[in-house]
Structure 1
């Protein structure tokens, strides 16, 4: 059994640029499942960092839209841009014609096509304006919460009912490994939503439930289209959930 400390260590080394020493032995699928189950912890830490940066930047004369763009840029830098890359590859795969094998090939090519480029622009625009608006209103907790929910979405997308479409790569280590952890993180996320808006405590849970329902449906659709999932689809889920949470909080 993978210890919680090793799981958090692996999640941090895989999903951020924090200089955590790499494990001496190759991680197993059990390690991968444990690391993915710890991903929301990384999301909470990242959300806290971005909220703190937003607070600091709000004390400058920078326009709030520029602050929002800076926060998206910093988030991408701290995560190696891998989630945005996964979003672009997934969009290109969904946008192509042909059987699942053709879609998988498109996702593996690495270059960004028209669907991927358009999706990236839209996602970055939504997140930047969302971060800017929350910064403008001083809603630091909501800003961090949106980032954390993105990582809960990754756990939900790797649920046990879905399988990887390849025997190699990151997806093979983590897709289909989340059972109890997916349920626990969804329940915790919905419950935590009650504290992000004390004037209307029902809003957070409703927004979170809707966002995670969208992620659930997105994962199921990708699994049908691609014949399984990959690490790219996890990245896409993270970016979609973050953007959708920001949209819901500001609607």
Structure 2
């Protein structure tokens, strides 16, 4: 997510967006997959950000398909992991990775909120952003390579779970009560749009599905799946609170940083054991 999109138009109180409108909003803003956004307003943003994990599910499945196909062709775990990490980056134009780098530059600048936000909005990437980006990608590839080397199904499941929880972190960051750091941009468009009950329900659904997906490999795998989701969300929540204190709210870059932080954490947990 970036801050280059205009604010959504206001909608009459109580107006709701349909599920298809929300799904188009989610895929149109979080991916480059073909999805014509039919509504660009607060109700559509509310439904769309609640559907963000669905966009993550599709990205994860496509990434897992690419990685396991390369494994089947004899590409090896490291090569498969590298391709798997590259697929979501390509299907999001690396916007979330860019957000991670920009947020790292803003947090590392030690400057007032207004100056830090100006640094984040610049097109170049500073030293904090470069180091953070490189380390995050290295950890993601290493964790996935370990999972793939153990078993291709374990690696594929890790990819899908991490992609979903990364977008779930965005849903939770869109809950009401979380302010926007700027009055414009995509961060402002989705900040505070998701009711807390909806965010909690989506989180509970993801936890249940993650646990059920792991049951095929045994109870310990199911526990690891749930633990990965919870720890990833914890890391994202801590980062969210730090950004809100530091920038006086969230931006599109912060959403990208939350996503990549949750993805990285989930992959590390799922590679253990």
Q: TM-score, normalised by structure 1?
A: 0.94
More deviation, 189-198/225-234: 189-198
In structure 2, the residue matched to 1:163 is: 179
CA distance in 2, matches of 1:30, 1:49: 29
Contact 1:142–1:196 (CA under 8 A) maintained in structure 2 = no
C-alpha distance after superposition, 1:107-129 (max 9, x if no partner): 11121000000010011111112
2:126 matches 1:113: yes
CA distance in 2, matches of 1:196, 1:246: 15
Secondary structure of the 2:214 match is coil
Contact 1:89–1:112 (CA under 8 A) maintained in structure 2 = yes
2:159 corresponds to which of 139, 143, 157: 143
Contact 1:134–1:143 (CA under 8 A) maintained in structure 2 = no
Secondary structure of the 2:183 match is coil
2:138 matches 1:98: no
2:212 matches 1:195: yes
1:35 corresponds to which of 48, 66, 70: 48
Contact 1:65–1:128 (CA under 8 A) maintained in structure 2 = yes
In structure 2, the residue matched to 1:184 is: 201
CA distance in 2, matches of 1:31, 1:105: 28
CA distance in 2, matches of 1:90, 1:82: 12
In structure 1, the residue matched to 2:22 is: 7
CA distance in 1, matches of 2:174, 2:121: 19
More deviation, 202-211/151-160: 202-211
Q: Which runs of 5+ in 1 are unaligned?
A: none
CA distance in 2, matches of 1:12, 1:40: 10
More deviation, 106-115/123-132: 123-132
In structure 2, the residue matched to 1:243 is: 264
CA distance in 2, matches of 1:145, 1:63: 21
Aligned ranges 1:16-31 → 2 under 5 Å: 16-23=31-38, 27-31=40-44
> Residue 230 and residue 50 in structure 1: after superposition, are their counterparts in 2 closer, same or farther (change >3 A)?
same
> Residue 22 and residue 161 in structure 1: after superposition, are their counterparts in 2 closer, same or farther (change >3 A)?
closer
* Number of residue equivalences: 249
Contact 1:155–1:181 (CA under 8 A) maintained in structure 2 = no
1:49 Cα offset (Å):
1.2
More deviation, 73-82/135-144: 135-144
Secondary structure of the 1:235 match is helix
1:213 Cα offset (Å):
1.6
Contact 2:66–2:83 (CA under 8 A) maintained in structure 1 = no
Contact 1:32–1:174 (CA under 8 A) maintained in structure 2 = yes
Any runs of at least 4 consecutive aligned residues in structure 1 with deviations exceeding 6 A, and if so which? Answer: none
1:63 corresponds to which of 56, 73, 76: 76
Contact 1:40–1:148 (CA under 8 A) maintained in structure 2 = yes
Q: Which runs of 5+ in 2 are unaligned?
A: 1-15
CA distance in 2, matches of 1:165, 1:44: 28
CA distance in 2, matches of 1:49, 1:101: 39
Contact 2:60–2:88 (CA under 8 A) maintained in structure 1 = no
